[in-house]
Amino acid sequence: MKKTAIFFSAMVAGQLALAQTQIPNSNFEDWTVADNGTDSLVGWSSSNLVVMPPVHSLYKESGAYQGSFAAKVNTAPFGFVQYTTIGILVNGTGAEFSYGGGGGGANVEYVSGGGTPISVKPTELRGYYKYTTGSASDQGTARILMTRYNTSDNKRDTVSYATHTFTAQASYAPFSITLPDMLPGVTPDTITTIFSSSNPATVAPNNVFSDLVLDSLSLYKAPAPPVANFSATPVVGNTNVTPINFTDLSTNIPTTWQWTITPNNVAYQSGTSATSNNPIVKFTAAGTYTVKLKVANADGADSLTKTGYIIITDGMGVNERALLESTTLYPNPAKDKINLDARFLGAELKISDLSGRSLIYVDKVKNKTVDVSALSEGLYLVSLKQGQQTLSGKLLIRK
């Protein structure tokens, strides 16, 4: 069995795939001023919508990692008792927030909405951050949600969900959030990123100042070339009689298939071909056949070769057919043991190689299970003699 693989550059393939699918204004360069006089990030929503002056949740930060501006999400005290008030930033417009006064009351919370369209499935959200806080226990947080609308039940399916915490960091540092694939094979249509300047579960209720500064966010998709694998049923057959069903078992969703059978004495059946994912084949000549499957997708290619995988014979006598198609001897192919029907207890068993050289001989079978672990992989001749009846056939050993 032989495998070969071709991998494209991870950085190039991932970034090219997402070149047109980044979160809008994720470098935080475009700003306006809201009606209430607060900084407003174009294409994003913030809890500036619900907090009350003099507290602001979001500021345009001139000390950017790159470019002119970054986004600063702010936690600050509010009111006579200095309730801690958390800042929240969400990509997309129209996000809704609630606020019950902060601290001992209900803090700022993201309710719903926001998010932006997406047409690929990224594997990471990357960016740069700084985090300063006056509370040793405080941390900034991120929640990343990718969903797809399900028309069958008119609900949104969660394709990926991840959380992240930001600890104290005086100067810009990179961060990466892994986006787990919770629905393989399903591409999300919306991504929602929710950044909070404090963790409401751990932040002190009063007198906390914390700043989460974000810059240069980017979505990244790790390349996922297919990993080739396949099976066939059965692996022993007759010329022009037995249809062999090949099944693609490759992972990472291949989009093209190429089957190569050597020697090429084959006829594809039922409208399938050498480029079908699950072809059906009849073999036109006896022999031992090697099968190779090459699969590919946008991220790369892989191939798997199984040498001597299919064995085709010219035909069988009646007794041989009875042996292989009944429960007389099973499993076939076998690995280490074969089982015999109970009616053959006491029978003479002989297993030979194709030249007729006896390899296993049992004068009188005493157990229904026979150890064949000493046989190497290949095709063998089997005969069972019980009184005047003799059954013969072929046994395939696969390790």
pLDDT at position 10, please?
Answer: 38
pLDDT at position 192, please?
Answer: 98
Residues 40 and 169 in one domain: yes
Q: Is residue 320 classed as helix, strand or coil in its secondary structure?
A: helix
pLDDT at position 126, please?
Answer: 96
Instruction: Give the whole-angstrom CA distance, residue 214 versus residue 65.
Output: 9
Instruction: Give the whole-angstrom CA distance, residue 156 versus residue 172.
Output: 35
Residues 30 and 104 in one domain: yes
pLDDT at position 60, please?
Answer: 96
The answer to whether residue 182 sits within a structural domain is yes
End position of a domain, from candidates 220, 253, 278: 220
When pLDDT is cut at 50, 70 and 90, the band that residue 3 belongs to is: low
Instruction: Give the whole-angstrom CA distance, residue 351 versus residue 87.
Output: 78
Residues 180 and 257 in one domain: no
Residues 337 and 302 in one domain: no
pLDDT of 355 higher than 90: no
pLDDT of 16 higher than 80: no
pLDDT at position 378, please?
Answer: 85
Task: For residue 98, give the DSSP letter.
Answer: E
Instruction: Give the whole-angstrom CA distance, residue 28 versus residue 129.
Output: 12
Residues 48 and 196 in one domain: yes
Among 32-36, 121-125, 137-141, 246-250, which is the least confidently predicted range?
Answer: 32-36
Here the CATH number for the domain that contains residue 302 is 2.60.40.10
For tokens 């090459």, the residue is 294
The answer to whether residue 344 sits within a structural domain is yes
Residues 157 and 245 in one domain: no
The answer to whether residue 14 sits within a structural domain is no
In percent, the amount of the chain with pLDDT more than 70 equals 89
Residues 288 and 362 in one domain: no
The answer to whether residue 225 sits within a structural domain is no
End position of a domain, from candidates 284, 313, 342: 313
Per residue in 151-199, pLDDT (tens digit) is 999 999 999 999 999 999 999 999 999 999 999 889 999 999 999 999 9
Q: What is the DSSP string of 124-191?
A: EEEEEEEEEES-TT--EEEEEEEEEEETTTTEEEEEEEEEEEE--EEEEEEEEEE---SSTT---SEE
Omega cis (within 30) before 54: yes
The answer to whether residue 3 sits within a structural domain is no
Instruction: Give the whole-angstrom CA distance, residue 170 versus residue 156.
Output: 39
Burial class (CB in 10 A: 0-12, 13-18, 19+), 82: middle
Query: Across the chain, what does the average pLDDT equal?
Result: 87
Q: Which residues have CB under 8 Å from 263's CB, separation 6+? A: 285, 287, 289
Task: For residue 206, give the DSSP letter.
Answer: B
**Residues facing 361 on adjacent strands:** 350
**pTM for this prediction:** 0.64
| Domain extent at residue 149 | 19-220
The answer to whether residue 5 sits within a structural domain is no
The answer to whether residue 2 sits within a structural domain is no
From 184, 176, 118, select the one nearest 146 (Cα to Cα). Answer: 118
Residues 88 and 147 in one domain: yes
pLDDT at position 315, please?
Answer: 56
pLDDT of 319 higher than 60: no
pLDDT at position 318, please?
Answer: 38
Among 79-83, 91-95, 162-166, 223-227, which is the least confidently predicted range?
Answer: 79-83
Residues 241 and 290 in one domain: yes
Here the CATH number for the domain that contains residue 115 is 2.60.120.890
Residues 251 and 153 in one domain: no
pLDDT at position 332, please?
Answer: 84
User: What sections of the chain are H helices per DSSP?
Assistant: 10-17, 318-325
Residues 78 and 175 in one domain: yes
Domain count, the chain: 3
End position of a domain, from candidates 220, 251, 273: 220
Q: Is residue 260 classed as helix, strand or coil in its secondary structure?
A: strand
Residues 269 and 360 in one domain: no
Q: What share of residues in the chain are helix, strand, coil (percent, to 5)? A: 5, 50, 45
**Mean pLDDT (whole number) for 124-136:** 94
For the chain, the residue count is 399
The answer to whether residue 333 sits within a structural domain is yes
